[in-house]
Structure 1
Amino acid sequence: MDKQIQEIREDVQQAKNEAKKYIQFPVAEVSYLLQQIEIKDKVLGFYADRENWKVGPFRVTEVELDNGKRARTALKGEDTND
């Protein structure tokens, strides 16, 4: 994961834990954005994994079987749960 994203994630968690009234930090919004990054990173990882591009016993790759379903799901902002 990107170092800056990890730092933002830690700052958000710290803000949640401290819950100080003087912090005007959009925790929910940033948490949502971090979740979306995580979903999209997971899908990119699937397509980047060379194992998913190897031809299986039926001469079809995992990527071909997926047919873009994971990408479409992630672009909707939903987790693929894989």
Structure 2
Amino acid sequence: KAVKNTDFKIGSAFATVYLRADCSYFEDLPPYTNDEKISSAIANQIGENKLQPTSFYVQYNKQTGNAIVLATQSNKK
């Protein structure tokens, strides 16, 4: 499953998503977020309860407001 558009929402803030096959790059994320909030928002937007830690890797840089998400082959649809 994949996010269908490049607008990504965490709480009341929107960020931009750059979709790639195995890696997505997020920018303009709110400063109050963290890896867990990003994972939860992604799971919600793809219709899952939770992202499996063995299938997704999220890294958020609070100083820049950017994040990357890596997905394993089994999660690409």
* TM-score, L = length of structure 2: 0.28
Which structure has more strand as a fraction of its residues?
2
Q: Which has the larger radius of gyration?
A: 1
